[in-house]
Structure 1
Amino acid sequence: MERSLPATGHYIQDIHINDRARVHIGDQIGCTTINSKVTPLLDFDGVYAHNALAPVSTYVDRVDLRSQLETHLHNRIAHASRSSQIEVVHGIGGAGKTQLVLDYIQRHRQDYSAVFWIEAGSRESIERDYIQIYILLYNLHLEAAQGAIEVHNAVAAVKRWFYGRGKRWLFVFDSADAIREPNDPFYVDLRRFLPDDPSIHVILTTRDRCAQDMTELPAVIVEEMTRGEAVTLFQKQAMILAPTSQQEGHIGAIVQELGYLALAITLAGSYVAATPRLQRDLAYYLPEYRERRRELLTQRPLWLVHQYGESVLTTWETTFRTIERQHPQVCHFLALLSFLNRDDIPADFPTVLVNGEAPMWVGALFPGQRITQYDIEAFFRTLINFSLIKYRGDQNSYAMHSLVQTWAYDRLVEDQQKSYGCICAVLLQVMTKTVQDANPLVRARTVTHIVSSFHKISQCFKSASVDDNVIVYLLYGLARFLDSCGQFKDEVVMERFIYQKHRSGHGDDHPDTLMSMNNLAATLREVGELQEALSIQRAVLEKRQQILGEDHPDTLMSMGNLAAMLGDVGELQEALSIQRAVLEKRQQILGEDHPDTLMSMNNLAATLREVGELQESLSMKRAVLEKHQQVRGEDHPDTLMSMNNLANTLGDVGELQEALSIQRVILEKCKQILGEDHPNTLGSMSNLANTLGDAGELQEALSIQREAVRKLTEVLGVKHPFTIKAEKCLLWIEQLSTDTGQMQ
């Protein structure tokens, strides 16, 4: 498919429609899938988590809740049920659910062979963690993968690993809050991910009571702390280790005012610890808190108070006002972080995001100021000091409580949300450039930030505005990154948003609207929604014909894309007719030697082969090869692609020796230019083996094809179309060898 660029009349030709019966040089390489033939570890005794599995140093033991958790789960007879034993820990945000579970793990870690902590706040974060657990349990190496991993296979493989192992394992799904409403942007079908083996204990922390329906075990309900627990927590957090009787009175009044809620007390204590004035005299805290609360109740929407509660909201706002007075830059930075994935903020932000010349996001967030990596490191330290974020040393990342992040976003008015949304999109552009060539898991972490940010951006830019062009342009770049990672489902959602913004802002016939329609159709094709893709592409073509004329480059691009989709659904004759028309027009307008003309000849020749017009296909492929050799040179990828396609058709018409000669040349050139393990090199190996099989050279064919399948499986995965075709070719050669008695 050819994708359009925003706000220009040019386009990217990034997919050739080549011969489809075998593996081809020049085909666009898709996403890496997992390798089902890898050998799993015989045992695993360790931990998978994004943070150290221990509660915070100021944690206060909540004896009654811990006792319930131990009775319901830990003390049950092992394998008492036929499936995994699920314990639900639910309660309001900020009540201390996660810390309770971390305390349980610290006390009983030795009773489990391994512990797996999964951040369950979104589908993307769960998928990321399952991929990493899969790599861990199956002892894979990141360098063997160069794209996205198919999640459903990773989930199935992880579940399968535990069957019949007879030990005790613990899975924690933390912050599984969006499990009720499928229309929620962060909805997770949690049952899809829950492991199912009697040896596994599962703990779910959630704000949603409906999670209790997933288990027969009683839930552990986490609510307010006892007065004694609350007082102890405040003293630890405020670093008041030996309070006077007067201080004890103030502390009791403070925790009562805060409703004995763990998060509010933690934040209040951190605020006192960071404020010398309050360290000297706690009597000032409550008057300040109450004044701030009255101010909030008159300024903030009522729904904010209902969502967070007066105590939490006032505590945060009091902290925020202090930070704003002392470090106004930190407040801007906190607002920016509210758009990102809250549980995995990379600790290398300071070096990556201000490396070299200050990127645009820095200038937008801090106009006229010079911000260094040391400044950003200081921003993080300030936020940590006030307990608004925490640092996870094991994963070298920062994390923010979900309610803190939501509050940091909700407190912004609409114009501020839009402004920070644009800045965040620019920041994400910087991130995508820094990880473009990184391993799949690093890229997957970036995807979670893009998806999280897009949810907020799409909400604050929901209504039409003439000022939306900037954010739409930025989202276009992020959509391209999702495409490069194989995250087509998330990309479709973003492409639909871009299309709707262009349509509402410019109308149905504007070039940008047609551009976004074209790109949406291309992505729908990737996720298999062929009929909708075909319908949209027909509409794009019709409008471009009416507006731009029959001979405009964008019109011809749309014709070529439509032909590709028609080929997908088996409408080969219509595809053939369109491709002939595209080729004729490009020859007239661009000339015989233009790359677009040669691409059209290549695509037409491929479809001619599919409909059985082998001689015409062969003649056209010879012409394409000759042109590419003249225009591009002998070693250009387009030349090698043309040689490959010519050899395929030579094999079809029985010219096996000429086909073999060409394919041997291709293989050597690919090894020299691309390397031994490049997918196109492996594709050329498979094509050579296929032709050797046709020619009866079965021993050489077997040797080459086995090596091709092994390497394709390592590089692209067992589910990739190239690997599947190569395996089918290997089975065919093996069958030929068996039939002729030549099997090795």
Structure 2
Amino acid sequence: MLDQRLREGTTTVLPEAIHGMGGVGKTQLAIEYAYRHQSEYDIVWWIPAERPGQIGQALVELAQRLGLVTTTEANIAGPAVREALREGRPYSRWLLIFDNADNPEQVRHYFPQGGNGTILVTSRNRRWGQVGGSLEVDVFTREESKELLRRSGPPLRDEEADALAEALGDLPLALEQAAAWRAETGMPASEYLRLFENKRMELLEVAPPPDYQLPVAAAWNVSLDHLETRSPAALRLLQLCSYFAPDPISRSIFSGLGNSSIFPELDAALNDPMRLARAIREVNRYSLARIDHRTNSIEMHRLVQLVLNNRMTPEEQSRMRHGAHTLLAAADPKTPVSPASWPRYAELYSHVIASDAMKSDQPWVRQLVRNIAEYLYFWGDHDVSVDFSEQAWQSWLAIFGEEDQQTLLMGQWLCYMYWVVGRFDDAARLVAHLREVYERTAPADQEDTREDALDALQLEAAVRRVEGRFATGAELDRIAYERAHRAFGEEDPTTLNIAHNFGVSLRHAGDFRQALELDRSTLALKLRLLGREDRRTLITENSVATDVRETGDYVGARALQEPILATCRDMFGHGNPTTIETMRQLSEACRKEGDHLRALELATEAHAQFTRRYGDTHPQSLAAALTLSVALRQNGDLQAARTRGLKACEGYRQIYDQHHPHVLSADVDLAVTLRLLGQPEEARRLDETALASLADRLGAGHPLALICAINLASDLAALGLHEEARRRGEDTLALCRSTFGEDHPTTLMCAANLSVDLASVGAEDQAADLRRDTLDRMTRVLDAPRQEFESGMGHPATAQFREGLRANCDIDPLPL
């Protein structure tokens, strides 16, 4: 029947789901189908799907199997796999089996959207029938049950097989266990039925399980009673495994007990490879768990775990859970940032959740929980990291309280993750809570020296930046920097990290010269203490290049940023976020330096890579879209620039407040494109609204407000309002000279436009003087460095000015 249903049509969008209660053999049916029809597929891939993190890891492994040139990061490999399967690269006939996928909403977006393959889902959830085809798996027919029972063990008469099948409820998992028991012991059917009935009655008297679980529990208790007598160590091993996930448990995890203790008989097995091997052999004899010798792992059905758990006393349960936590903590590589550790963390992830490790009070277990949260981020599954971190934060709040240090650290991490995924309101609320706790609990003599409190202060500064409160963010970072400098000295890694963040805030506050001075000092220290190959050094080196660009040295900025990009590619790879962001910023440097074709090439690639990694609504994707929009406009493709610009404006409004400087900056850039497309009135409306908000929030002399004002003057001139344009230009030029200096390119653009407006209102002499002075400065500031760099090529802005064309000023939102 399953074969027929799968042949009825394409199932890549609407999968075929096998659903039914636990123990009826859904997974076995999927395995049997894959086995019988393997010749019809080029590749068959099994995907554990109970938790999203497991799906991501399976897709990473599939990417490697498909030979895709990609990273081991989930948010890169996953989309690459889906696209390759959709296109049939390198295989057009594929079968994906999502096993135990109980939540359609969590799982469905991992499916390829097209192609010639097949998707098969196993689940206990009937709701899959609303997504695609659905096949319910029930218990065996009586004849199927009797056939399974007759395959092994002593011969059975028909009435004996029928009686056994009746007692076992025709449930495949229970039947399999009974058959394995009879095969191993040779016990007559009548004796097995007597033992089974005794166990069934015991279960009914104590805590009766659901009807469909009763046969499984009774059948397993028959075997477990025997194992308890024959091999106590084997029984204890099974009890321990009941606190892991119903996924493969690597035998290497059992080697981490060390000097800890769970139960004496179990301790002896865990500390002796030979005794452990004997215990596993006993488990295998009675089919009490699935032993996979290829992967050297043990796996247990979730219903069997429940049976084992229910047999234990509260004390035994507590000790086994504690033992599982101890072994998991010992298996922690303690390097969540390292790709080499990610496969181990992928294995630990599901066991940490299943064992309730978040509720452990063991320090190393709590550290493991934090490391899993960080691994999920560095591995690239940001949404899963947020969910996991939220669960840990809430658990620790309830158990340990808000003043517990580990709880506070998890709160900081969760705040950072909110910031990463653009949940800025949640980040703001959480950081306010964290700061209140730190201020309330910090001893007065430790206010300046607690690193966790300094981290919280920096987090608050970052949140204020995403709120658009740049001056407040800079003040918080200044306080953190001064405290760290006093407490630890300028060469301490904590101080260097805070110094870098202070530079970020200074740039957003518009103080580019102070940012450049601080970043150069920080870079010199990092080069001496960490070396250039350290990521922390490289990001500060990139900050220096950005500062150089914003202070007006476009050629110098490009010359700095080109080798930084090359180093990022060598160190991190082409698809790493740090590499992509460096590429985007190099595009901006190239555009301002005058190389518009190179800028467009870099902007196109950066935008494609960010959207492939994060989708098109992530903050970094939106910044890349805006960079691409401006690059398209500078290359003459106004319609494409308008399309990209509109999408960037819409996207920014979805994640930031409508008065956020990034939102208004996107409006200012779009307004330039609209004016060039012959829509000066719409451009004026955008610029006037943006200028009012920017001046109110940042001040009229902030660089963003000044760029907006320059463009507004151009809107007024395009509408024939030359006197208004002149007045706007004169006011803005005075502020530009104060903020940027007389020779900054932005000041020169403002002066160039004002000279045109002066001529338009009849002030010819004043216009000529300003034009002559501005042209001399532009030649010196823009042309001369570029001619040396580009072998005689002048700057396009100077050429446009000579032709009497107005200059357009762009805003490149800085990374928050």
| Counterpart mapping for 1:155-194 below 5 A | 157=83, 160-161=86-87, 171-176=96-101, 178-179=102-103, 189=106, 191-193=108-110
| 2: CA distance, partners of 1:135 / 1:631 | 37
Separation in 2, partners of 1:212, 1:684: 46
Distance in 1 (CA, whole Å) between partners of 2:113 and 2:569 is: 46
Asked if 1:447 corresponds to 2:354, the answer is no
Task: Select the residue among 127, 141, 147 that pairs with 2:73.
Answer: 147
Matched, 1:285 2:192: yes
| 1:181-330 → structure 2 map (5 Å cutoff) | 189=106, 191-193=108-110, 203-215=120-132, 219-226=135-142, 228-238=143-153, 240=154, 243=155, 250-275=160-185, 278=187, 281-298=188-205, 300-302=206-208, 304=209, 306=211, 308-309=213-214, 311-330=215-234
> Share of identical aligned residues, percent?
22
* 1:334-371 deviations in Å (ceiling 9; x for gaps): 2332333324444xx24x6538x958588999335663
Pair 1:551 & 2:448 matched: yes
Single out whichever of 594-603 and 634-643 deviates more from structure 2.
634-643
Residue 607 of structure 1 corresponds to which residue in structure 2? 505
Distance between the aligned counterparts of 1:681 and 1:126, measured in 2? 26
CA contact (8 A) 2:587 2:600 kept: yes
Q: CA deviation at 1:490?
A: 4.0
Whose RCO is larger (CA < 8 A, sep 6+)?
1
- Distance in 2 separating the partners of 1:436 and 1:692: 36
Other structure's SS at 1:654 match: coil
Q: 2:24 aligns with which of 95, 103, 110?
A: 95
Change in CA separation of 1:408 and 1:540 when aligned onto 2, cut-off 3 Å:
same
CA distance in structure 2 between the partners assigned to 1:109 and 1:481 by the alignment: 35
| 2:477 corresponds to | 579
Larger mean Cα displacement after TM superposition, 554-563 or 686-695: 686-695
**Counterpart in the other structure of 1:383:** 283
The Cα offsets for residues 674-701 of structure 1, whole Å up to 9 and x where unpaired, read as: 8999876787677667545544567988
Question: In structure 1, how many angstroms separate the alpha carbons of the residues matched to 2:524 and 2:97?
Answer: 61
| Shift in alpha-carbon separation, 1:130–1:265, aligned structure 2, 3 A | same
- The alpha carbon displacement at 1:565 in A equals 1.4
Q: Secondary structure at the match of 2:234?
A: helix
Matches of 1:618 and 1:114, distance apart in 2: 54
C-alpha displacement of 1:97: 3.6
Q: 1:489 to 1:87 in 2, by over 3 A?
A: closer
Contact residue 76 and residue 612 of structure 2 kept, 8 A = no
Paired residues of 1:674 and 1:681 also in contact (CA < 8 A): yes
Q: In structure 1, what is the Cα distance between the partners aligned to 2:219 and 2:284?
A: 16
Query: 1:316 offset after TM fit, Å?
Result: 0.5
Q: Deviations over 1:522-569 (max 9, x none)?
A: 333233322122122122222322332453434333222100111122
Tell me the number of residue pairs that the alignment of Structure 1 and Structure 2 aligns.
635
For the Cα contact (< 8 Å) 1:389–1:398, is it kept in 2?
yes
With normalisation by structure 2, the TM-score equals 0.65
Task: Describe the shift of the 1:533–1:327 C-alpha distance in structure 2 as closer, same or farther (beyond 3 A).
Answer: same
Q: 1:732 to 1:527 in 2, by over 3 A?
A: closer
CA drift at 1:89: 4.0
Do the aligned partners of residues 622 and 473 (structure 1) sit closer, same or farther apart at CA in structure 2, a change above 3 Å counting? Answer: closer
Report the alpha carbon displacement of residue 314 of structure 1 after superposing the two structures with TM.
1.0
Please name the residue that 1:521 is paired with: 415
Gap change, CA 1:333 and 1:149, over 3 Å in 2: farther
| Residue-by-residue CA offset, 1:224-245 (whole Å, 9 max, x unaligned) | 332x33222112143x4xx3x7
**1 CA distance for matches of 2:472 and 2:35?**
66
Matches within 5 A, 1:687-698: 691=589, 694-696=592-594
Q: Which residue of 2 aligns with 1:337?
A: 241
1:230, 1:262 within 8 Å by CA — same for their partners in 2?
A: yes
> 1:692 touches 1:698 (CA, 8 Å); kept in 2?
yes
Distance 2:2 2:565 in 1: 62
What code does the residue aligned with 1:331 have? L
Match of 1:18 in 2: none
- Structure 2 residue aligned with 1:536, among 424, 430, 449? 430
Question: Deviations along 1:262-284, whole A, 9 cap, x unmatched?
Answer: 221210111122225x2xx5543
Structure 1 residues 631 and 402, CA gap change in structure 2 (3 angstroms): closer
Q: Give how far 1:171 is off.
A: 4.9
Higher mean C-alpha deviation, range 552-561 or range 475-484: 475-484
The offset of 1:649, in angstroms, is 1.2
In structure 2, give the amino acid aligned to 1:308.
Q
Map of 1:647 onto structure 2: 545
- Shift in Å, 1:510: 4.7
1:453/1:408 Cα in 2 relative to 1: closer, same or farther (>3 Å)?
farther
| One of 299, 308, 314 as aligned partner of 1:408 | 308
Distance 1:555 1:235, change over 3 A: same
Aligned partner of 2:463 in structure 1 is 565
For 1:616 and 1:563, the matched residues in 2 are separated by 18
Counterpart contact for 1:617–1:649, Cα < 8 Å:
yes
For the aligned residue pairs, the C-alpha RMSD in angstroms reads 4.8
The change in CA–CA distance for 1:323 and 1:642 in structure 2 (over 3 A counts) is same
CA distance in 1, matches of 2:22, 2:79: 33
How much has 1:446 moved relative to structure 2? 3.9
1:44 — aligned with what? none
Matched, 1:354 2:255: yes
Secondary structure of 1:222's counterpart equals coil
2:645 matched residue in structure 1: none
The alpha carbon displacement at 1:458 in A equals 6.4
Change (3 A) 1:209 1:477: closer
3-state SS of 1:366 partner: helix
Is the CA contact (8 Å cut-off) linking 1:341 and 1:448 kept in structure 2? no
Question: What are the Cα deviations for residues 88-115 of structure 1, in whole angstroms up to 9, with x where unaligned?
Answer: 5444332334434444444445556665
Q: Deviations over 1:365-422 (max 9, x none)?
A: 9335663445444444433332233345777755433322333344444443343333
Q: Which moved more, 1:287-296 or 1:534-543?
A: 287-296
CA–CA distance in structure 2, aligned partners of residues 515 and 378 of structure 1: 43
Structure 2 CA distance for aligned equivalents of residues 479 and 364 of structure 1: 33
CA contact (8 A) 2:53 2:384 kept: no
TM-score, normalised to structure 1, is: 0.70
Instruction: Note if contact 1:537-1:562 (Cα within 8 Å) is conserved in structure 2.
Output: yes
Q: 1:695 to 1:332 in 2, by over 3 A?
A: same
Change (3 A) 1:414 1:652: same
CA deviations on 1:711-737 (whole Å, 9 max, x unpaired) are 989998998988987898788778868
- CA distance in 1 between partners of 2:420 and 2:47 (Å): 29
**Match of 1:551, as an amino acid?**
D
* Structure of greater Rg: 2
Distance (whole Å) between structure 2 residues aligned to residue 605 and residue 285 of structure 1: 76
